Amino acid sequence: MRDSYIPPGHMTARQAADTLGVQLGGLRQIVRRGQLHRAGGTDRYPYYATPDVLRLLAARRAIERPVLTRRSELCNDLRAELCPQAG
């Protein structure tokens, strides 16, 4: 099935995982949580609609995450290990 035909506008699980920056296990969790749905293929070799993957990628990038770094000075972190980077 690996070398079989993938319809235009679709991508394999490996391509979708690479696009989202996760491993295949992470992609399976995304599917299990209902954030992405299979567009066809088999249970072992699913494929996904490219617009759905790109929509999920845009939604995941829209979340602002602070850059964390280890610093020797104290901050508001309870354990004082990870603090938002100044600047």
Q: Domain ranges in the chain?
A: 1-87
CA 36 to chain centre: 10
Compute and round to an integer the Cα radius of gyration of the chain: 18
At 87, the pLDDT band (50, 70, 90 cuts) reads very low
User: Considering the entire predicted model, what is its pTM?
Assistant: 0.67
The domain defined by 1-87 folds into: Multidrug-efflux Transporter Regulator; Chain: A; Domain 2 (1.10.1660)
Which of 52-69 are b and which e, b meaning 16 or more Cβ less than 10 Å from the residue's Cβ?
bbeebeeeeeeeeeeeee
39-57 per-position pLDDT tens digit: 999 989 999 999 999 999 9
25-36 per-position pLDDT tens digit: 999 999 999 999
d(CA 7, CA 23): 23
